[in-house]
Structure formats: structure tokens, C-alpha cells
């Protein structure tokens, strides 16, 4: 991470008033369903950090550009990737009278014209071994890449990983890579994920501001990356705040060419505020990383929970954005892509209170407000369960208003041995929403009800993005159940939309 000021900016609030002129509608390509992302073992990531520490110890105490420790770092990472089946290449460049190295690793398969790239810088400063900055990002994306190989992932997109040299001297390696790609090859990169410092000892949880809710935002498509990362942290009940695209890390060259970008950051030399300490724990008034660019940035300068959470978030983002197209393991015993009428009933209990934006099975029209997408087409076809399918002439039309809206399936016979319910979902809202607004999915059986998704809104812009969800429903095997979907705008005037698609039950 470059040593410049002003890394973090918190989200700004917007007025509840939404002008009609801000709404647009039009086609959008749906995100494919994906195979469930794996848990990334913290022990594996820390084993890589231990190796990087040993490399620094054996090479003058650092892994800096032009020093033998950086080349040894590249060789270590390359060896792991080669053994796992990646196609690797070392790109050399010259800076400051020394040879620098980028390592590029491609996972065979996927659409070569639709590349998802994940990167981290592999060099340290000369003052120390750089285990948090940026061994943490390098090790986390390495273990994610190795998980791709272990899982035999066959994504729709082509996966590429990069480890950049000479970042600490001004993003030299990553800029060299992007600038020297032929324009036709550069245009194939449809998204870039950057992870620079993800294990800070006094951590914050900051996502690059793709949707522009607190600044200028990233190129078109960056909002989806931010939303996917935020969705992971929401699933583990960890709050996320914005950090600006301020040029401090290797996303810089990508966004200059209009490539969508995003990533996570746990903080550098900035000091944690009292509000952040209440939100995340840790010490207020103390730097996120007191050893930033110092000799004490060693393997003891890591917060394990932060590193673990971010490694899992990286895998979640790669799996989700790559479009694995995989099914949950086991035989499919029930599937409803909602393209045909299978008996879904709105307001089955007669207790809904919403006055508009009621759930229906319909063809939703894409709706966007000032860069925040609020309604999407179906995930795998044209039809989905959606709150108010029409885009509407103004912000108050067809979103949920006035309370709750629900829709319920016809009875579903769950065969003996069934284990897993899966579906795709989204909840989208502007920052005039609150935690009283929500999307919930329940399984209703003869002897009780299980809530399998309970997603609350918050006072922040959240763009719609189809996300996978799986739940264990073994307790309902051999029974007849219904699936009930409910959403609410229950906390005052706000713009809230929700959707559900591709429902499956597997053994």
C-alpha cells in the first residue's frame, strides 16, 4: 500500500427524496448461479505468511523491489500455482536500475473474452518484511487460487490472478502490466479485484466505493463488485464502510482504462475512530496498522479474524462473480426457474399491508437510480419473483410501500433423503432504508417453520445483485412444505426492491 494520505472515507447520507429523472430502465445481463464458495482455511493462509517471513529473514529482512527477497517471493508463489495446474508467466520490467517482476496465473477454461482478475502486490518496503503490507493480500489470493484448483471450479468467466512488483514505489508493476496489454486483451478484463492489507492488527472493514455512495465511485460495473463483497460481510454480521478509489493501490491502472474494480482494505496508518471501535472492536485513536511500512510488520502483525474473514470474502467474490454455473452437490429433486406458472400465490395469508410493489411472478424491468441498480432481470431467464415488476415513471412507483408483501409456493413434496434448498436472491435499497426493511425466506412445514434467509436493509445504497443461498432442510425430508417469501418497507418512506429466482431442492 502506497504511503499517501487519505485512504478512508465513510459513506455519506442522501436525502429520502428521489427525483423521477434519476430512474432508467433497460436490459441487463443476468448473473449466473454459482457453486457454493468454499471456506478458506486460515491455517493455510498463515502458512504462506510464515514462508514469506522466512524469505524476508533469509534476504536482508525485506522482500522489496530489486532485492532478492522479492524474486524469492515470486518463485514461492509460482511453485504453488504450477503444482496446482495454473498456467503461470513471470513478466519482467525495469525500474530504478533494478529488474522487477509480476506473476500472472491463469486457470484453464472459462470464457477467454470475459476475464475476472484478482490481484495483490507481492513486494514490501525496504524497512521490513511486509507481512501485512502486503503479504496478507498475496497469501489470501494465493490460497483462493489454490482453492479454485482443489474444488475443480469450472467458471463461466476466465479466472486470472496477478501478483504485482514495485507497488511500494508507485504502482509500477501493475501499471506496466495494464499499459502493455494490447487494447483487445485489455478489453477482455471485465472486472478486477484488489486486496492490499487485509489482516491489519487493529482492523477496519473497508470496501472500495464502487457505487459512488461516498465519492466518485468506480467504472461502471464496480458497484456489483462492492455489493458482492458487502453481501458476504453482511452474511457474517460484520459492518462494512467505504474506502475511496484514491490511487493508493494497484486498482489504479485498471480503473484508468474503465475496468470495473473493487476490493477490501483493513486500514494502514490512519487511526481508528471511537465510532469504528464501537462498530468493530479494537483500539480507538490507534493506527489500524502501527507497524505500517516498518520493521515490525512481521508475522506477529496480523489480526487472525480479519485475515480469515477477508480470505473467505475473496473466495465468495471470486466464486460469485465468476459464474460457476454449478449445482449444489447431489441429485436435484425439485426445481422451479419460475418461467412457468407453478402455483405461487401472493398474499396467501391475507395479512399483507403493502400498498405497492407487491410480490408477483413476472418479468422484471431493470430499474436504476443514480448508478444504484434496484431491480434486475431474472437470474437465469426472463421471469422471477419480484416486488413490482414494472420500472415505474418515478421513484415512488412500484417499489415496496406501506409495509409487508409476501408470496407463497404451492405444496412441495420433499422426498426422503433431501438435504439442501438453494435459490438466488437480491435485496436492493437506497440509504433512506433502515433495518426495519427486509427480505425473508421461510420453509413452512406441517410441524413448524424455518427461516432460511433473513436479510435486513440498512441506511446505505445497496445495488441489486443476484446472490446464491443454500440451506439445510434435512428436517423436512419426507414432508410436504411451502416456500414463503416476504419483503417489507416497514421503517418509513424508503425505496426497497427484492427478488428471488432458481429454487432447487437436492439430495
Which residues are known to be catalytic? 167
The 3-state DSSP class for residue 28 equals coil
Q: What burial letters (b/e) apply to 278-315, b meaning 16+ CB within 10 Å?
A: ebbebeeeebbbbbbbbeebbbebbbeebbbbbbbbbb
CB 391 within 8 A of CB 415: no
Helix H or strand E segment including 255: helix 252-256
Q: In this structure, which long-range contacts are made by residues 13-18, counting pairs with CB atoms below 8 Å and at least 24 apart in sequence?
A: 13/431, 13/459, 14/213, 14/430, 14/431, 14/432, 14/461, 15/432, 16/432, 16/493, 16/494, 18/369, 18/394, 18/395, 18/396, 18/430, 18/432, 18/495
Give the C-alpha separation, 494 to 214, whole Å: 19
CB 486 within 8 A of CB 437: no
Give the C-alpha separation, 434 to 215, whole Å: 21
Other residues' Cβ atoms within 10 Å of the Cβ of residue 264: 30
Phi-psi region of 363 (alpha: psi -120 to 50; beta: other; left: phi over 0): beta
The interaxial angle of helices 304-322 and 137-151, nearest 10 deg, is 50
CB 66 within 8 A of CB 96: yes
Other residues' Cβ atoms within 10 Å of the Cβ of residue 42: 17
Amino acid at each position: 500500500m502506497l504511503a499517501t494520505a487519505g485512504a478512508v472515507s465513510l459513506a455519506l447520507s442522501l436525502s429520502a427524496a428521489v427525483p423521477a429523472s434519476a430512474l432508467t430502465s433497460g436490459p441487463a445481463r443476468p448473473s449466473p448461479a454459482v457453486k457454493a464458495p468454499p471456506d478458506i482455511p486460515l491455517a493455510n493462509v498463515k502458512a504462506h505468511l510464515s514462508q514469506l517471513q522466512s524469505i524476508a529473514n533469509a534476504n536482508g529482512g525485506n522482500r522489496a523491489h530489486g532485492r532478492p527477497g522479492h524474486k524469492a517471493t515470486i518463485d514461492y508463489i509460482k511453485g504453488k500455482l504450477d503444482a496446482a495446474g495454473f498456467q503461470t508467466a513471470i513478466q519482467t520490467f525495469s525500474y530504478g536500475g533494478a529488474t522487477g517482476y509480476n506473476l500472472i496465473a491463469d486457470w484453464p477454461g472459462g470464457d477467454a473474452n470475459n476475464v475476472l482478475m484478482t490481484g495483490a502486490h507481492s513486494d514490501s518496503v525496504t524497512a521490513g518484511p511486509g507481512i501485512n503490507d502486503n503479504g496478507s493480500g498475496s497469501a489470501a489470493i494465493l490460497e483462493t487460487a489454490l482453492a479454485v484448483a482443489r474444488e475443480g471450479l469450472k467458471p463461466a468467466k476466465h479466472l486470472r490472478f496477478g501478483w504485482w512488483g514495485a507497488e511500494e514505489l508507485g504502482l509500477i508493476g501493475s501499471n506496466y502490466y495494464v499499459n502493455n496489454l494490447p487494447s483487445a486483451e485489455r478489453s477482455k478484463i471485465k472486472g478486477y479485484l484488489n486486496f492490499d492489507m487485509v489482516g491489519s492488527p487493529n482492523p477496519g472493514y473497508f470496501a472500495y466505493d464502487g457505487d459512488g455512495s461516498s465519492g466518485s465511485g468506480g467504472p461502471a460495473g464496480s458497484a456489483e463488485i462492492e455489493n458482492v463483497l458487502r453481501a458476504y460481510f453482511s452474511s457474517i454480521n460484520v459492518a462494512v464502510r467505504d474506502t475511496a478509489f484514491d490511487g493508493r493501490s494497484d486498482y489504479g491502472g485498471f480503473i484508468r482504462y474503465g475496468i470495473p474494480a473493487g476490493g477490501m482494505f483493513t486500514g494502514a496508518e490512519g487511526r481508528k475512530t471511537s465510532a469504528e471501535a464501537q462498530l468493530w472492536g479494537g483500539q480507538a485513536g490507534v493506527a489500524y496498522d502501527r507497524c505500517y511500512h516498518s520493521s515490525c510488520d512481521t508475522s506477529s502483525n496480523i489480526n487472525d479474524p480479519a485475515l480469515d474473514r477477508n480470505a473467505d470474502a475473496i473466495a465468495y467474490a471470486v466464486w460469485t462473480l465468476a459464474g460457476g454455473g454449478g449445482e449444489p452437490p447431489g441429485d436435484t429433486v425439485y426445481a422451479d426457474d419460475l418461467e412457468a406458472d407453478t402455483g405461487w400465490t401472493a398474499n396467501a395469508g391475507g395479512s399483507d399491508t403493502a400498498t405497492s410493489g407487491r410480490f408477483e411472478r413476472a418479468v422484471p424491468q431493470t430499474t436504476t437510480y443514480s448508478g444504484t441498480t434496484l431491480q434486475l432481470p431474472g437470474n437465469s431467464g426472463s421471469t422471477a419473483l419480484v416486488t413490482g415488476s414494472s420500472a415505474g415513471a418515478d421513484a415512488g412507483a412500484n417499489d415496496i410501500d406501506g409495509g409487508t408483501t409476501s408470496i407463497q409456493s404451492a405444496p412441495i413434496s420433499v422426498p426422503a433423503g433431501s438435504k439442501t434448498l438453494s435459490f438466488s436472491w437480491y435485496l436492493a435499497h437506497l440509504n433512506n432504508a433502515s433495518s426495519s426493511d427486509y427480505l425473508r425466506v421461510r420453509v413452512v412445514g406441517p410441524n413448524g417453520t424455518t427461516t432460511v434467509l433473513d436479510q435486513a436493509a440498512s441506511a446505505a445504497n445497496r445495488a441489486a445483485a443476484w446472490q446464491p443461498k443454500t440451506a439445510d432442510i434435512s428436517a423436512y425430508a419426507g414432508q410436504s412444505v411451502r416456500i414463503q417469501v416476504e419483503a417489507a418497507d416497514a421503517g418509513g418512506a424508503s425505496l426497497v426492491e427484492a427478488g428471488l429466482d432458481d429454487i432447487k431442492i437436492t439430495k
